[in-house]
Amino acid sequence: MNDETRSYRDPLGEHMRALSEERERALARFPAAESLYDGFYAAFTPETRDGVTYLAGAEGIVGSDIRLVVERAADSVTEADAASAGDAADAAGAGGAAGTAGAADAASAASATLSTLNGDTIAHLDDATAERLNTLITAGWELRCVLSLVIYNAEEKGFAGECACLCYNPAVEPAYRDALQTFIDNIVLRIAAGDHPGLKLNQQQLIRVLESGGSWFLTKAEPLPEPARGWVVYRRRKSAAEHLVAAALKKNRGCLALSWLGLVLLGGLVVWLVWRLVQWLW
C-alpha cells in the first residue's frame, strides 16, 4: 500500500507542470519586452499662439503625427560658452564652482519639444518624459508621436492636449521589427477612430504581438485622463473631413484629387438647385 502511494502521480499536476515549462520555454525564445518596445501617453499645454492655433484648428487632428525633437541642452553649448563659464567659475572661487555645477546640471537636462509639421513650436513635455524619451533615442530607438486627445476650457478659453509616444528598438531581426511597426500603425488607427488603447505591454502581450505579426492588440482601453473642473473633451477622433485634411497636409495626391472632385460635385449641385429654383419661379 505504501509502495502504491509513493508511486502515484497526479495527472492534473503533471499537465500543469508541462504547461508551465512550455510557457517558460516560450518566454525564453523572445527578447524582453523592455528591450523592444515602450509606449505611453503624455499630456501637454500649448506655450505659444501657434500651439493654441494648432489644437483649435484644422491641423490638430487626432491620430495625426506630431514632430517631436528630443535633445540635451548641453549638446548645443558651444566651446566658447563653456570656456566663459569656466573662467567665471575660476574667478568666483568655491561659490562660483558650486554655481557652475548647478548650471551644468540644468544645461544637461533633456528637453522634448512638440512642433507642427511646419516647425512651429507647440509645447514642451515634462522633464521626466523628456529624460525617458532621451534614454530610448540615445539607445537608437525609433519614435513616433501622434495627437491622441484635445481638451478645452470655455471659461479660460484655453486648450490642452495629449499625445501618444510609441517607441521601438529597430536593432532586432526583421520579422520582429515589422511586427512592431504594424502594431504601432494599428494603434494609431484605433486612436484616430476614437479609441484610447492601452500602450504598455508586458512580456506575454509582447510575445502575442510578435507571433501575430503585429495584428494582436490590447482590447482593454486605457481610461481617459480625468479633466479638471471646467475642461471638456474637444476632439478625440478623426472625422471623415479631417481624413481629407490630413491627406492634404501630407500631400497625398489621390485624396487631394478626391477632395477636389467632391468640391466640384458640390458646386455643380448648388448650380443645378439654383437653376431649378429659377425655373420654378418663372
Set of cell numbers at residue 9: 502521480
Set of cell numbers at residue 135: 534614454
Q: Which pLDDT score is estimated for 232?
A: 92
Q: How far is CA 214 from CA 26, 41, 196, 203, in A?
A: 17, 20, 18, 14
Q: What is the mean pLDDT of the chain?
A: 79
Give dist(CA 98, CA 104) in Å, integer. Answer: 10
* Mean pLDDT calculated for residue range 55-70: 93
- Taking only the tens place, the pLDDT of each residue in 203-236 is 999 999 999 999 998 888 999 888 788 899 999 9
**231: β partners:** 153
pTM of the prediction?
Answer: 0.71
% of the chain residues with pLDDT over 70 = 69
Q: Which pLDDT score is estimated for 238?
A: 79
* Mean pLDDT calculated for residue range 143-162: 93
Give yes or no for residue 77 having a pLDDT over 80. Answer: no
Contact 63, 189 (CB under 8 A): yes
- Taking only the tens place, the pLDDT of each residue in 17-36 is 766 666 666 666 888 999 99
